[in-house]
A and B are shown apart, each in its own frame.
Chain A
């Protein structure tokens, strides 16, 4: 039973001689990232990865609250739930997703790689609201792409960032209930639902006592 704020940071850094690793290391070097290809930041085989595709169990519910990416080289980030891309063009065709220029990571970074112009500090133009829900049993991917490939002769690092809240156990059941009710899923509303349940139980107990002539 919990609600936990979680983050995942990906960068094209891996130990020398390999393209990906499960743990960050002190000898990590930038790995070449080709252009116009979507890399799954969890299991894409580039940079830091995890052991299996990101998915929710039957007792988990995930709410993705923020995504951000490197602003230069045409960096962009897309969310895929099962096989469906979240961000689409108005003609319902595929697109790369949120540009890093609109949601930069790190926030305040320069618009060009290594840019040193005074005042060149990007702020976010994009806020992921409403949030993206990953329902129990769904697989989700965060796809990072570049319009221009990284240099294969230089140390060019690109990165991607995801912030989400993981609801587990009873809190995931409450999240499902809120979804049915059409109420936004956030920690405040989950707490509100719990309080409502407790108040209902209290009222029922008092009513039962009254019906029994004051005895429990």
Chain B
């Protein structure tokens, strides 16, 4: 029985978990930050068990700036190529086989640009995007976070960040109940539901 705030940070250059480092040839390919074989990975696809409920609250990736005339140089610490300083990266959330972020023509897109949801955040790169409403991963679903970068000259420091809350055991049951009731799933509302249950039992206990 628990609600736990969780994060996962992916760094393309890490090889300590046995995967390869990100390479220029990976530009344009969608890479799973969990099991993509690049950077730090985990042992199996990310999924919820029958007694778990995951709420993804934030996704972010390395930002890029748009500039001119600096090709081959650096701008704000990022390598510049074709007028873009940084990896020109995007992050997409996939639940089972469905991409979460779509273009207005209902075709799946690359996801949230790092320039809109930067990681890390800085004075130079601040967020324009807030993942609200949150993304729910229901019990038994597989989820993935996919990064894509297009600037093969500036991927060296590629990172991705995911913040989610894991509801386990009875708290996952309450999360399902809140979902049925059309109430946003967050720790405050789960606690509210528990208090309501206790209050409804109180007269019988007295």
Determine whether the beta carbon of B127 is less than 8 Å from that of A107: yes
In the complex, whether B66 has a CB less than 8 A from a CB of chain A is yes
Contact A5 B83 (CB under 8 A): no
With A116-B75, A195-B181: A157-B83 Cβ-Cβ less than 8 Å: yes
Stretch from A26-34, A86-94, A208-216 that touches the partner: A26-34
Bits for A52-63, please: 1 = Cβ < 8 Å to B, else 0.
101100000010
B contact residues, total (Cβ < 8 Å): 52
CA distance A54 to B106 in the complex (A): 9
Asked if A70 lies at the interface with its beta carbon under 8 angstroms from chain B, I say yes
Number of interface residues of A (CB under 8 A): 55
User: Looking at the complex, which of B97-105, B165-173, B192-200 is the stretch in contact with chain A?
Assistant: B97-105
Q: Which residues of B contact A (CB under 8 A)?
A: 27-28, 63-71, 75-76, 82-84, 88, 90, 100-105, 107, 109-110, 112-113, 115-116, 118, 122-133, 148, 150-152, 181-184
Interface residues of A (CB under 8 A from B): 3-9, 11, 13, 24-26, 28-30, 42, 50-52, 54-55, 62, 66, 68, 70, 105-109, 113-114, 116, 121, 123, 140, 150-151, 154-159, 161, 163, 165-166, 187-188, 190-191, 194-195, 198
* Bound Cα distance from A170 to B68, whole angstroms: 46
Looking at chain B's contact residues, the main secondary structure is: loop
Given known A-B contacts A9-B116, A50-B105, A163 and B129 have beta carbons under 8 A apart = yes
CA A8 – CA B128 in complex, angstroms? 12
CB atoms of A26 and B65 under 8 A apart: no
Q: Are A7 and B105 in contact (CB under 8 A)?
A: no
Q: Contact between A187 and B133 (Cβ–Cβ < 8 Å)?
A: yes
